Amino acid sequence: MRHASSTRLIWTLLGLTFAAIAVFLWSLSAGAVHIPIATIINTLFDLDGPKQSFIINKSRLPRSLLAFCTGGSLALSGAIVQALLRNPLASPKIIGINSGAALGVLLTFILAPTLNLNWLPVVAACGGILAAAAIFTVAEIATVSPARLALVGIAIGMTCDAAVDFILATSELYEVSAPLVWMTGSLWNRGWAHLNAVWPLLVGLSAITLLYSYRLDLIRLGTAQATSLGLNVRRERLVLLALATLLAALSVSVVGVLGFVGLMAPHIARQMVGGTHRGLLPVAMLVGAILVVVADAAGRALFAPLEVSAGILTAMFGAPFFVFLLLSNTSEARG
């Protein structure tokens, strides 16, 4: 039994990796200037003309890499949050982390427009952590049910959104045009600088999270059992929550709010390999990465030369998916 599931996991991971590579190559070819796959492979290994290599190296490659990293991080964050809250409907967006990070970044755009790009992740992380801290303070003080916690998260998200709208609507247009583009959950105009600002952190945090994943399985057994197995549940939950928050907030800091990726990816992964987190987390990461790379590339290809934000596409497909989960998971959702 165990052997069988391991084999399945390995095959799933292999299949997803191939899918990810294929999608990645497609995303390099899709856009206002169509570039054939053969050319891309030549270019990546320095074999082709200057125009294509400029587009691929300067524009599409960093963008696709960024989509890959942030998609994976959001999915990982979503998987952790769902396990911690034992709520299949939870996701970084639903519990307000994304909105908190967005507010933090927007405030810095307005208050310190000259700030170096490298600080953006720090600010976003602060905003996200503050939002998450608020939610879990409420959870501690009022000892609310998981279902109620999702509501509190929505409310905190809406409060942050109200502040974001206030800033956007009352500033001069030239001040907010950059943050406005950034807010919509798009990978447009993201380059190596953005990628360099976050990838070491995202990769590092993801690695730590994957190493930590066995503890999620222990926590899932329930507080009493986990404690009897020698786990300091309270501390573990805090560490895991901090990891989830950082992963989501850092992603938001460079690509804005990409709704529903953190919700969809873990569920799709669960369909593929079941609930053990040792296997679930890497699969979820790959699924999330594929989702965002596809959303980004499709957004470029659909109405080229116009671009549809990746965030719009993920919300268009994610929201019905959320409803589907809601309808099929009612008993669990009640918590």
Partner 1 sequence: MALRGQSSSVPLKISIVCLTLAISCGTLFSLATGGRTDVGLADIFRPEGMARTVLFDIRMPRTCAAALLGVNLGMAGLVLQAITRNPLASPAILGINQGAALGLALGVVLPNTIDLPLDLYALTGALTAGVVTFAISGGFGGKIDSLRLVLGGVAVGAFSYAMVRFTYTLDDDIARSVIRWTVGDITDIRWSETKRLAVWAVPGFLASLVMAQRFNLMALGQASARGLGADPRITLLLGTIVAAALAGASVTVAGPIAFAGLIVPHLAKFLFGGDHRVLTPTTALLGAALMLFADGLSKTLTAPIEAPIGVVAALMGAPWFLWHTIFARDVS
Please report, as ranges, the residues that interact with partner 1 according to CB under 8 A.
Answer: 89, 94, 138, 142, 144-145, 147-148, 150-152, 154-156, 158-159, 161-163, 165-166, 168-172, 180, 184, 259-260, 303, 306-309, 311-313, 315-316, 318-320, 322-323, 326-327, 330, 333-335
Are 180 and 164 within 8 A, CB to CB?
no
Taking the complex as a whole, how short is the minimal distance between the CB of residue 269 and partner 1, in angstroms?
20
Are 311 and 184 within 8 A, CB to CB?
yes
Tokens of 148: 């109620």
Percent helix / strand / coil, the chain, rounded to 5: 80, 0, 20
Taking the complex as a whole, how short is the minimal distance between the CB of residue 95 and partner 1, in angstroms?
12
Taking the complex as a whole, how short is the minimal distance between the CB of residue 200 and partner 1, in angstroms?
32
Measured from the CB atom, the residue of 94 and 216 that comes closer to partner 1 is 94
Give the integer Cα–Cα distance in Å for 254 and 59: 15
Taking the complex as a whole, how short is the minimal distance between the CB of residue 167 and partner 1, in angstroms?
9
Are 129 and 183 within 8 A, CB to CB?
no
Measured from the CB atom, the residue of 191 and 335 that comes closer to partner 1 is 335
Measured from the CB atom, the residue of 121 and 185 that comes closer to partner 1 is 185
Taking the complex as a whole, how short is the minimal distance between the CB of residue 90 and partner 1, in angstroms?
11
CA dihedral (252, 258, 260, 264) positive or negative: negative
Judged on CB neighbours under 10 Å (0-12, 13-18, 19+), 273 is buried
Judged on CB neighbours under 10 Å (0-12, 13-18, 19+), 159 is middle
Measured from the CB atom, the residue of 73 and 309 that comes closer to partner 1 is 309
Taking the complex as a whole, how short is the minimal distance between the CB of residue 241 and partner 1, in angstroms?
19
Measured from the CB atom, the residue of 135 and 280 that comes closer to partner 1 is 135
Measured from the CB atom, the residue of 32 and 323 that comes closer to partner 1 is 323
